[in-house]
Amino acid sequence: MSATGSIPTTGSLSVPSARVMPWVAVWGAVFVCSWGGNQFSPLLLMYEGREHYSSVVVNVFLGVYVLGLAPALLVAGSLSDRHGRKPLMLAAIVSAVVGSGLLALGPLGPGFLAAGRLFSGITVGIAMAVGNSWVKELSQGRFDPSADAGSGARRASLAFTLGSASGALVAGLIAQWGPIPEVLPFLVHIVVALPFAVVVWRTPETNRSGGVPGPWWRQLRVPSAGHRRFTRVVLVTAPWIFGSAAIGYGYLPTRLTGATGAWGLLFATAATVVALGVSSAVQPLARRVHSLTSARGLTTALACMTAGIAVVVVAIELQSVVVGLVANVVIGVGIGLALVSSLLEVQRIAGSRDLAGLTGVFYAAAYAGFLAPAVIAAIANVVALPVVLWVIVGLGVVSWCAVLVSSRRYLPTAYRR
């Protein structure tokens, strides 16, 4: 029997009536992987204050996980299209435990933090590329006959945002008031993540196509990644999703230490939870904003994320905690809309054999935005910070215009009018 109590893991793919749908098991796995990826974000102030790391170094810790995440996104999705979803998601759970274990050893030196962040990136990369595709496949057909066409995208994006918010909330509260704050948050995550190895093992496989014949590296090619709708609409929007997030709840708290004082960790936690909580709240409404014949969802999202970064600039100038929280509300709305709309675009562009591969390419581009705080911190040493941030806002406006121009073009044939 499966983790759901009624779904076989071998033999026929027929699924009898179950009290818990199988997609819930994978949803939970994506949730705990996302938890591990974002539990570090509200702790930047702790490492800057207690370990006396510079602002550049702590933002490098935030961004280094992209070095593990991007390759994992690009490779894991394609490999799961060839070998199945389950082996790769099991690898994600193992990586999550290893990453948190290394982060728990952070007091021994920065090398452990960097290595832990690298494994955390690998974890999230696999979960986003493979887990999202698996949730989508388990949210249709015989696995979930009552689900609509957009259920998979909404469920997958919600698993990410709620998991990320939960990781930040638990880690931030422990860091503010709990014992051994540099260790305990990561031990809690290990305890939460380990059982999902069993859950994933007992969840039905959905991909047995075998992928592309021949050497494994042929599967790394994602034909639909060259689709003009993907390159001119989805990829233009993607970096702003986590770029705005990193600026709003990663970088902003480090610039408001004069206003937050001893409550800096609490503000960092609140900013993260507000952005991701709002993102989760708007996702059920995102399908109404999304349009099959335009990029209305993505243009709206880009406008919100760009406006949110502008409010971040105002918050820094005024040294205002309230304005900082408002900035994260606006950014959260944009993230929620962008995640759902982007995944819906990816799902209709991808061919039958490269859904996970194209999902991985999308998330690799999106997570590149997490490098923004490190880049901003480095440039701000030679250029005034407000100038740097207003330039970023200007680039956001340019991106919005570019998506708007292409919003009704390059539609997949089935969606053209």
Q: What share of the chain is helix, strand, coil (3-state, %, to 5)?
A: 80, 0, 20
In a domain, 185, yes or no: yes
Is 85 in contact with 130 (CB distance < 8 Å)?
yes
In a domain, 2, yes or no: no
In a domain, 182, yes or no: yes
Return the sign of the alpha-carbon dihedral for residues 399, 405, 410, 411: positive
In a domain, 316, yes or no: yes
Q: In this predicted structure, what is the pLDDT of residue 359?
A: 80
d(CA 24, CA 34): 15
In a domain, 213, yes or no: no
Q: 62: domain range?
A: 22-208+225-415
Most distant CA pair in the chain, distance: 63
> Helix, strand or coil for residue 292?
coil
Q: In this predicted structure, what is the pLDDT of residue 18?
A: 40
d(CA 300, CA 334): 7
d(CA 66, CA 123): 11
DSSP string for residues in 267-285? HHHHHHHHHHHHHHHHHHH
CATH code of the domain in which 53 resides: 1.20.1250.20
Altogether, the residues listed in the chain come to a count of 417
Place of tokens 């989508």: 136
Question: For residue 387, what are the contacts with CB-CB under 8 A and spacing of at least 6?
Answer: none
Q: In this predicted structure, what is the pLDDT of residue 286?
A: 78
φ, ψ for residue 218 (rounded to 5)? -65, -30
Q: In this predicted structure, what is the pLDDT of residue 224?
A: 81
* Successive 10-residue mean pLDDT values, the chain, 417 residues: 40 44 90 92 79 74 81 82 86 96 92 93 90 85 77 82 90 90 94 94 78 61 82 92 91 89 87 90 82 84 96 96 96 93 86 72 85 84 91 95 84 51
In a domain, 286, yes or no: yes
Which residues in 223-260 are b (16+ Cβ under 10 Å) and which e?
ebbebebbebbbbbbbbbbbbbbbbbbbbbbbbbbebb
Is 230 in contact with 346 (CB distance < 8 Å)?
yes
In a domain, 13, yes or no: no
CB neighbourhood size of 11 (10 A): 7
> Helix, strand or coil for residue 370?
helix
In a domain, 14, yes or no: no
Q: How many distinct structural domains can be found in the chain? A: 1
Q: In this predicted structure, what is the pLDDT of residue 175?
A: 87
**What's the Cα-to-Cα distance from 307 to each of 255, 276, 397, 406, rounded to whole Å?**
19, 17, 9, 21
Q: In this predicted structure, what is the pLDDT of residue 215?
A: 62
d(CA 366, CA 360): 10
